[in-house]
């Protein structure tokens, strides 16, 4: 079965600093990979996704992520963080398990931004 690990529970960065959120997955084949963001009291918004092709994917709000098969990673990056980026970030892997396709989420990384 697939699994997702987000090693960092909570990260604090200063506004304007760069950001990298880590995500590692476990799956026997090439997975479909997603990053979602959840602002306080809100639902989940898709930031970006990787299905195939170019391993560096661009998303909304200036985010990008790089798929590295050798490291089973899909880390999320942003060159300059804004205060409005403070939220919970979830990495997810989409794969077929038990005969049906489903998303498996990591436990999330909470991002705090210092003004």
Partner 1 sequence: DTAVSQTPKYLVTQMGNDKSIKCEQNLGHDTMYWYKQDSKKFLKIMFSYNNKELIINETVPNRFSPKSPDKAHLNLHINSLELGDSAVYFCASSQATGQETQYFGPGTRLLVL
The CB-of-80 to partner 1 minimum distance in angstroms stands at: 26
Residue 49 found at the interface with partner 1 (CB under 8 A): yes
Residue 42 found at the interface with partner 1 (CB under 8 A): yes
Taking CB under 8 A as the criterion, the residue among 51, 80, 82, 114 binding partner 1 is 51
* Residues 8-27 as x/- pattern, contact with partner 1 by CB under 8 A: --------------------
The upper half-sphere exposure of residue 99, i.e. CA atoms within 13 Å in the direction of its Cβ, equals 0
Taking CB under 8 A as the criterion, the residue among 25, 27, 63, 90 binding partner 1 is 90
Provide DSSP, 8-66. -SEEEEETTS-EEE--EEE-SSPPEEEEEEE-TT--EEEEEEE-SS-SEEE-GGG-EEE
Residue 101 sits at the vertex; the CA angle it makes with 93 and 69, to the nearest 5 degrees, is: 35
Name the residue nearer to partner 1 (CB basis): 9 or 115: 9
Distance CA 54, CA 34 (A): 15
Which positions touch partner 1 (CB under 8 A)? 32, 34, 36, 38, 42-46, 49, 51, 88, 90, 94, 100-103, 105, 107-108, 110
């Amino acid at each position: 079965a697939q699994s997702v690990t987000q090693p960092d529970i909570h990260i604090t960065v200063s506004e304007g600093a760069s950001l990298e959120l880590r995500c590692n997955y476990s799956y026997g084949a090439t997975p479909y990979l997603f990053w979602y963001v959840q602002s306080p009291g809100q639902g989940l918004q898709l930031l970006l996704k990787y299905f195939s092709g170019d391993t560096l994917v661009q998303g909304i709000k200036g985010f990008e992520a790089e798929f590295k098969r050798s490291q089973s990673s899909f880390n999320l990056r942003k060159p300059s963080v804004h205060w409005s980026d403070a939220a919970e970030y979830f990495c997810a892997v989409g794969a077929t398990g038990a005969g049906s396709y489903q998303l498996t989420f990591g436990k999330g990384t909470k991002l705090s931004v210092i003004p």
